[in-house]
Amino acid sequence: MSSEPRLWLASASPRRRELLAQIGVPTRRVYCEVQEQVRAGEGPAAYVQRVTRDKVLAGVAAAPGGAVVLAADTAVVLGAEILGKPRDRAHALQMLGALSGREHQVMTAVAVACDARLELRLVSTQVRFRALSAGEMEAYWASGEPLDKAGGYAIQGLGAVFVDHISGSYSAVVGLPLLETAALLDGFGISCWQPC
């Protein structure tokens, strides 16, 4: 039996679980819910770090004592505005239209905690979209992919064809910055490339 400590993932995101599996880190899910509304006067960086901190602390409270818990949150930011998940077709088309031909930021915070110890990193990536036609945006909405995605698109899916340029961490745009995550996990005694 492996002596590696098990990582508990305080996230419902299948993408984050897949990214951790990609670097050889098995996880167990811990269920927790936190308030994800932006507070008055709260900027995007402060928001994504607060939500991530709240998630990992809720995960620590729900997991067995001494468990190592990871949580993350991603925000798509255009100017100073956080673009959340689309509420409906009109909202998705509005967001895609706003992103068309422009550069935006994707901010992902990742936190690892065990008992009272908590470490957090914030990663910001620049993403530029090419100009999108109305027909493309309609077809993309019809695919169903934008429904549960921050900013209304998935860089790892069909939305990849919209991306003209990226500067920073691709995996952070998907939902988890793997370089920073691996370093955090190493500090908590969890190594990558664990045998299956």
Say whether 88 is catalytic.
no
Residue given tokens 């549960």 in the structure block: 148
Q: Cα–Cα–Cα angle for 150, 152, 157, nearest 5°?
A: 95
The DSSP-derived string for 146-196 is GGGSGGG--TTTGGGGGEEEEES-HHHHHT--HHHHHHHHHHTT--SS---
Q: Which of 54, 73, 88, 186 is catalytic?
A: 73
What CA–CA distances, in Å, run from 1 to 20, 153, 192? Answer: 20, 41, 17
Structure token pair of residue 108: 């992902």
| Gap between the Cα atoms of 154 and 120, Å rounded | 24
The residues annotated as belonging to the active site are 73
